[in-house]
Structure 1
Amino acid sequence: MPLFFIIVLSVHALVNFYIGIRGWQALEFYPALRPWFVFLIVIAFLAYPAGRILEKFWYHPIPISLHWFGAFWFAVMLYATLLLLFVDLARIVNLFVPFVGKLSGGNIPALKLAVFGIVSMITIFTVGLGHINAWTPKIVRLDLVIPKQAGQMEYLRIVAASDIHMGTIIGKRRTEKLVNTVNSLNPDIILFAGDIVDEDVGPVIKQNLGASLLQLHAPYGVYACTGNHEYIGGGEKPIAYLEGHGIKVLRDTALLINNSFYVVGREDLHKRFASGQARKSLDELLSDADKSRPLILLDHQPQNLHEAEIAGIDLQLSGHTHYGQLWPLGYVTDRIFELSRGYLQKGNTHYYVSTGFGTWGPPVRTGNRPEILVINLYFKQ
């Protein structure tokens, strides 16, 4: 983890340095603005880590504002860098096929400023639309047939979500929206595939977000598995908070419900880094389960999908990927995971990887929309 944070901070610093250099060059036309631009870059560079650290012991509008500003800046960094790299590519082309002189009319400093202004406007517009998109979840509906008997049940309506990331960014309004939407879908059971909290549980407690979770209602209950962010946030404390507010967290547990079907919750892979203990294998989890009944698995990270197929799982729900959250990072998650978004069937096992409800880092989605999943399961022998 220390190495991971060193790499992240190094990349963060280099990207801000690159934007800073390009901005400094663009302000040749108005040199009086250069010190203010450098000040903005320094504040933007420090805002997110400073806000996250300060709010742990001082939950106040100042660190909250730093957290929000820094989170938005991550998205600004991505799109400003992509656009500036495109500009740099054009500069390389100009070395071989000169065209900048004609465009500038001989006034290169004015052209630099104009191009930087265009880059800034496109970036702000993209991030703004992405923020609106992040606040407008869609409902994904899926009808599946499980060729097993489930006691006397012929049908089960699952409402599921993943990656809520409750905290400073996903606060009271978003949590209430999640709860109200889930309840309006009339679930028989509610399932959360990990990352319900966003690392530190402090902002969740300060905002009393658990009061909204207590309003979730389903005849067969509300269940979750752990995600990597539950463990990044300390593990036991956020899990205990969820348990105390109506969510049964299944930690390497197979639970028979209504004497009809199983919900199996796997510990997240991050448990090994947090506690030094590996999670149980699926064979261990299902050693006492009646596999003639439907088996529904919650596994936060969609790794090693073949394990569920071999174990006889009927439906696996995962999240974690956010499908990159910001375009074009979805192409990266596609390379990492066999399934990084949506539905897949392997043998008799159905898989769904959700893009998630909330956001991590920037409150922006440009690669996809947040979602809540409705799965109608039909049981047939």
Structure 2
Amino acid sequence: MFLLVLGSVLGLMTFFIWLRTIRDTTAPGRWRRLLTLALLSLTALLVVTLVLPRVVGIEEAGWFAWPGYLWFGLMVYLFLALLVLEPLRLVGWLRRRRSPAAPEAGLDRRQFLARAGAVAAGAAAAGVTGVGVATAVGPPDVLRVPVRLPRLDRAFDGFRVAVVSDIHLGPLLGRAHTERIVRMINETEPDLVAVVGDLVDGTVEQLGSAAAPLADLVSREGTFFVTGNHEYFVDGTVAWLRELERLGLHVLRNENTRIRRGAAAFDLAGVNDLAGESRSDPPDFDRALRGVDPATATVLLAHQPVQIAEAAQRQVDLQLSGHTHGGQMWPFHHVVELAQPALAGLSTVRDTQLYVTRGAGFWGPPLRVGARPDISVLTLRA
């Protein structure tokens, strides 16, 4: 169903782009045929990019994933730019109806305006795409956010939690991406590191080397991990969890642990992602929160913000999530907001606070428009 919907949308977008940038700007003949073939080839490359990485492997997929996904991003903004010009086309059509010109002059004028519109839309799309790529592949922002927890013991006042999510190691992001994230986190000198899902888009055999720098993460209380939906989209979910434990990450699979400072403590819990249902590994809040002390604070790691509904029912103090990418590419922010209770930042549901990071990587097109990547350092206040 997903592929059917995606294929239909891509087909409609391609047809609209063909109408406005090829049919309306060229006369029937050789140039129109060549440009049509080029457009269809780019769309075919995108389809290959979406399908083949699961078949040919991560390293081989990089050769066509970069141009394929770049075209995807450019196509989206070209489509949107052309849509913006549609009201102007309608105005021109109405004027021609009222004051018809000679057939040849009218044709020349329409073709000139169509070419001008196509060039303007192409320039706008290229500009947005260029900025989006630079933002996506550039270093994440380091956000420092104070969070007050009434039940937090004063011994933990100033406790720093580095939150990172959606690293998305795969055909486009590899070891250098991980090394930069690890270096930036270590520079913040956190007390605890929380990796809240969507780390990989491939198997341990394909991406084990890319994930290896995670072993260099340094914090006083250690690094903790919960699964995201993408951990269940790859073969070998359990193999990845074992590999992360080998690298020194503590995987919280519907379980909790106590973080102590002398006699003071708070509970850190983690639940599996909702996609775990498909692998007989669903989230289990009752199990994850079993034994937590109701008199002290509880911090929950849960990949998707929508899981806040369960957390709030159980009086969790703070939930740390990712998943949304902050929308990644405007205007898709608005679509994400329909599915999740928060896009990014700190919010409150009942008496439970929710913090959502925009993530440090990207998925699909290597673009971020209106949603910069981030690593968030939360300073807990009693």
In 2, Cα distance between equivalents of 1:33 and 1:180 = 51
Secondary structure of the residue aligned to 1:132 is helix
8 Å CA contact 1:161, 1:354 repeated in 2: yes
Aligned residue type for 2:231: E
2:303 pairs with 1:305: no
Change (3 A) 1:61 1:275: closer
Q: How many residues align?
A: 373
Kindly provide the amino acid, as one letter, of the partner of residue 224 in structure 1: F
Q: Deviations over 1:114-162 (max 9, x none)?
A: 3212211111111001111122421111112222354954441111111
2:159 corresponds to:
156
Percent of aligned positions that are identical: 29
Partner Cα distance (2:15, 2:223) in 1: 46
Which digits, 9 at most, give the CA deviation of each residue in 1:300-339, with x for residues without a partner? 1111534322312111111111122111111222233222
Residue by residue over 1:25-76, the C-alpha shift from the partner in whole angstroms, topping out at 9 and shown as x without a partner, is 1441595433332333233223244245544454487631211111112211
Contact 2:58 2:171 in 1 (8 A): no
* Residue 376 of structure 1 pairs with residue 367 of structure 2: no
In the aligned structure 2, how far is the partner of 1:167 from the partner of 1:355? 18
Bigger shift: residues 109-118 or 226-235? 109-118
Number of the residue aligned with 2:81 = 83
Q: Which residue of 2 aligns with 1:212?
A: 213
Deviations 1:235-281 (A, max 9, x none): 32333333332322211111223372222111101111x2255421x
Instruction: Say whether the 8 Å CA contact 1:80–1:119 is kept in structure 2.
Output: yes
Residue by residue, what CA displacement relative to the aligned partner does 1:199-230 show, whole Å, maximum 9, x if unpaired?
5555423xx11221111111211111110111
- Letter of the aligned partner of 2:283 in structure 1? R
Describe the SS at the equivalent of 1:287: coil
How far is 1:373 from its partner? 0.3
Q: Which residue of 1 aligns with 2:14?
A: 16
Cα 1:127–1:96 shift into 2, 3 Å: same
- Secondary structure of the corresponding residue to residue 78 of structure 1: helix
Q: Give the match's secondary structure for 1:305.
A: helix
Judge conservation of contact 2:167–2:200 (CA < 8 Å) in 1: yes
TM-score normalised by length of structure 2: 0.88
The structure 2 residue matched to 1:262, chosen from 261, 267, 277, is: 267
Q: 1:116 to 1:152 in 2, by over 3 A?
A: closer
TM superposition score normalised by structure 1: 0.88
Distance 1:128 1:101 in 2: 41
- For structure 2, the residue ranges without an aligned partner over 5 or more in a row are none
Q: Letter of the 1:210 partner, please give it.
A: A
Are 2:169 and 2:211, in contact at CA under 8 Å, matched by a contact in 1? no
SS of structure 1 residue aligned to 2:62: helix
Deviations 1:344-381 (A, max 9, x none): 134442211111111110110112111110111133xx
User: 1:358-373 residue pairs with structure 2 within 5 A?
Assistant: 358-373=361-376
3-state SS of paired residue (2:142): strand
3-state SS of paired residue (2:306) = coil
C-alpha distance in 1 between matches for 2:28 and 2:151:
72
AA aligned opposite 1:78: V
Task: Give the alignment partner of residue 169 of structure 1, picking from 172, 188, 211.
Answer: 172
Alpha-carbon distance between aligned partners in 2 of 1:130 and 1:33, rounded to the nearest angstrom? 31
Stretch moving more, 346-355 or 314-323: 346-355
1-structure distance, mates of 2:100, 2:139 = 45
| Secondary structure, aligned partner of 1:209 | helix
Q: For residue 190 of structure 1, what is the aligned residue in structure 2?
A: 193
* Structure 1 stretch displaced more, 195-204 or 210-219: 195-204
Is 2:109 the partner of 1:111?
Answer: no
* Residue of structure 2 in register with 1:131 after alignment: 133
Mapped to 1, the partners of 2:110 and 2:188 lie a distance apart of 59
Counterpart Cα distance in 2 of 1:48 and 1:314 = 43
Q: Which of 236, 239, 244 is the aligned partner of 1:237? A: 239
- Contact residue 196 and residue 320 of structure 2 kept, 8 A: yes
Amino acid at match of 1:67: A
**Partners of 2:213 and 2:312 in 1: how far apart?**
36
In structure 1, the partner of 2:148 is 145
The equivalent residue for 1:122 is 124
Specify the code of the residue in structure 1 equivalent to 2:364: G
Is the contact between residue 101 and residue 108 of structure 1 (CA under 8 Å) also seen in structure 2?
no
Q: Please give the root-mean-square deviation of Cα atoms over the aligned residues, in Å.
A: 2.7
Query: Closer, same or farther in 2 for the Cα pair 1:350/1:150, shift >3 Å?
Result: same
For structure 1, the 5+ residue unaligned runs are none
Residues in 2 aligned to 1:354 and 1:184: alpha-carbon distance in whole angstroms = 18
